[in-house]
Structure 1
Amino acid sequence: MSEVVKSNRSFQAYAFPALLLGGISVGCAPILVRLSEVGPSATAFWRVSLALLPLGLFAALMRGQTDATATPLTLREWLTVSVPGIFLGIELVAWHEALYKTSVANATLLVNLTPVFTAFFGWVLFRRPIKRVFMSGTAMVVVGVVLLVSSGWVQGKGALSGDAIALGAAVIYAGYFMSLGYARQRFSSAVVMFASSASATLITLPLALAEGIFVPASPAGWATVVALAWIVQVGGQGLVTFAIAWLPPTISSLAMLIQPFVAAAIAWGLFEEHLSALQIVGGVAVIGGILIARRG
């Protein structure tokens, strides 16, 4: 019993550093997408396909170590673990496209609206109750989005279309999280992550081939997509997932705060994407609204 307690305390001690490191890693994703030598769809394809090897090894190592079912057997079970990947593949393509049209800050902040859309769809589809605090947070988010989109209006039609695509990506990502939650009721995280990455690979492949430039042309180009797959998709997301299991929701929300700040800071220095007053106020409103809404 004492060994279990010590083990749990050890996990808790590592959880917060893991959350910070994971948030920083995921925050680098939009920068790597911008630096990619291939298009948004091809970048999404390499991001999920190159992640299959480490995810497959992890799933094999975890086999039999959880109470969840190890392997899907029936067609229905395979669909259960594959549907999240369909949402993931489409979301990645859309968000990557948004990053080419609008600022890194706007695209990252807008896609982080996913928790709001997830709660909304949960209420519409499953009649999950929504508290007043959620409505207050949502109202604050709407104000922030209006300010962010207004900054895109100043930048031109391209930025506006990028903002719209990023919002659409947030909606699609909500579908990913809802289907992921359903799959996790039956299967382990390792199995679901591998299967969803495999189906995301199949979804993004034809879109990537249609872009024309499919294969990175230089070692630096390959390093970029490998970093997206291994450091961001596997490492960053894995660290955040581990940390959330051992930290209270209020602290776990820091991961959402870290990502846009890291992305905006690097984009400021690397791409000279200076934040306007509208973006700063809008970003604060969006982040604050999401934190409030999550309490509901």
Structure 2
Amino acid sequence: MPSSTPATPMDIPRLAFPALILANIMLSLGPVLVRLADVGPVAAAFWRLTLALPVLLLLAIPRLTRTPPTRREWGVMLLAGVVFAGDLAAWHLGIIHTKVANATLFGNMSALLLPAWALLVLRQRPTRIQAIALLLAGGGALILMGGSYDLSPVNLRGDLLCLLAGILYTAYILIIQRARGRLDSWSVLAVSSVASAPTLLLCALWLGERIMPGNWTPLLILALSSQLIGQGLLTYAIGWFSPLILGLSLLLQPAVSVLLGWLMFGEWLSITDMIGTVAVGAALVLVRLPTRS
């Protein structure tokens, strides 16, 4: 079982980094599926968790029985669930009011906030290659943001909501890292989802959203791609990597979402967007190199 302190390169399982990358690709599908759903955005977040919850509980209950959480661990997981509900509610509302690329860029501000946390609070110093990767990824993110950001009255509300979601998601990752010290990823994800789902339902009802869908397909895909595969793999990977590498990997989501926005909604990918996407991809290659040594 991985410890709460990120493992040394030699200790990291071979599949941990691919799991981290696949998680971010799956999570990139979220904005598209929320737009395609015929329920309210917060209701879509509720169904994302609720439809995945039976599978999560099936996977988690045997593990929770073998390794019962302490009172403190229960509290951490439930707190993570409430924070995650706030993140999803803000992000899904923002998705409706801004571009796909904007929503993912601002929703993933944790990509920059996590490395900042590592450098300023944890006093971690990046290696030379990691420093280059961080600068390259940050530059790529700024290029993507500059190419897709459109500060208009229509988009402003969505941008601010997605920025709030990015802050809450940073808090969620930092909280859940503490729970991953002794517990496996499925246990943490299942228990936090139990806290998130009713919080989201109450929020959707308070907003007067449509709850019951006419077309279940987008919601089923959302639950499978974002909650089971995406969030499940991310929760697993969190136990193995430092905030610096986690933050860099999250920059993959804006790059994929820019591409999806272009292909599905005609949100054209400019030359600068392409340069930003290449920069993010190069950063992910560089940040992987130290773990191969």
Q: With structure 1 as the length reference, what TM-score do the two structures score?
A: 0.74
Counterpart of 2:184 (choices 184, 188, 193) is: 188
Matched, 1:153 2:161: no
CA distance in 2, matches of 1:30, 1:89: 16
Find 1:79's aligned residue among 75, 79, 100: 75
Residues 28-37 or 142-151, more deviating: 142-151
8 Å Cα contact 1:70/1:188 also seen in 2: no
Which residue of 2 is the match for residue 70 of structure 1? 68
Counterpart of 1:273 (choices 264, 267, 277) is 267
Contact 2:60 2:186 in 1 (8 A): yes
Aligned to 1:48: 49
Question: Is residue 198 from structure 1 mapped to residue 199 from structure 2 by the alignment?
Answer: no
Structure 1 residues 20-67: Cα deviation after superposition (integer angstroms, max 9, x where no partner): 6544422211111111111221111111122211110000243456xx
Question: In the TM superposition, what whole-angstrom CA distance separates every residue of 1:52-111 from its partner, at most 9, and x where no partner exists?
Answer: 11110000243456xxx3244x3x442221111111111111111221122112222332
Query: Cα 1:140–1:23, aligned 2, differ >3 Å: closer, same or farther?
Result: closer
Give the conservation status (yes or no) of the 8 Å contact 2:53–2:190. Answer: yes
What CA distance in whole angstroms lies between the structure 1 residues aligned with 2:106 and 2:286? 16
- 1:93-112 → structure 2 map (5 Å cutoff): 93-112=89-108
* 8 Å CA contact retained: 1:25, 1:236: yes
Is the alpha carbon distance of 1:186 and 1:214 closer, same or farther for their aligned partners in structure 2, counting shifts above 3 Å? Answer: farther
* Corresponding position of 2:230: 236
Alpha-carbon distance in structure 1 between the residues aligned to 2:106 and 2:281:
10
**Cα 1:251–1:146, aligned 2, differ >3 Å: closer, same or farther?**
closer
Question: Which residue type is aligned with residue 218 of structure 2?
Answer: T
Counterpart in the other structure of 2:254: 260
- Aligned partner of 2:8 in structure 1 is none
**Contact (CA 8 Å) 1:26, 1:237: kept in 2 or not?**
yes
Q: Could you tell me which amino acid in structure 2 is paired with residue 267 of structure 1?
A: G
Residue 104 of structure 2 corresponds to residue 118 of structure 1:
no
- TM-superposition CA deviations, 1:257-287 (whole Å, max 9, x none): 5533433323222211113455455666677
- Once residues 246 and 140 of structure 1 are traced to their aligned partners in structure 2, the CA distance between those partners, rounded to angstroms, is 21
Quick check: 2:56–2:228 contact (8 Å CA) kept in 1?
A: yes
**1:272–1:286: structure 2 CA closer, same or farther, 3 Å change rule?**
same
| Deviation (angstroms), 1:250 | 10
Q: Secondary structure at the match of 2:260?
A: helix
Over 3 Å counting, the alpha-carbon distance change for 1:119 and 1:242 in structure 2 is closer
Q: Identify the residue that residue 204 of structure 2 maps to in structure 1.
A: 208
Check conservation: 1:118, 1:175, Cα contact below 8 A: no
**Quick check: 1:39 aligned with 2:40?**
yes
Which has more radius of gyration?
Answer: 1
Q: Letter of the aligned partner of 1:266 in structure 2?
A: L
| Contact persistence 1:70–1:191 (CA under 8 A) | no
Q: Greater CA deviation, 96-105 or 139-148?
A: 139-148
Equivalent residue letter for 2:149: G
How many residues were matched structurally?
274
Q: 1:50 is paired with a residue of what secondary structure?
A: helix
Partner of 2:5 in structure 1? none
Which SS does the other structure have where 1:170 is aligned?
Answer: helix
Q: Partners in 2 of 1:82 and 1:285 — Cα distance?
A: 37
Distance in 2 between residues matched to 1:182 and 1:257, nearest whole Å: 23
Structure 2 match to 1:92? 88
Quote how far apart the aligned CAs of 1:290 are: 8.7
Aligned 8 A contact 2:93 2:158 in 1: yes
Q: Which runs of 5+ in 1 are unaligned?
A: 1-10
Return the offset for 1:247: 9.4
* Alpha carbons 1:52, 1:194 under 8 Å: kept: yes
CA shift in 2, pair 1:215/1:64, >3 Å: closer
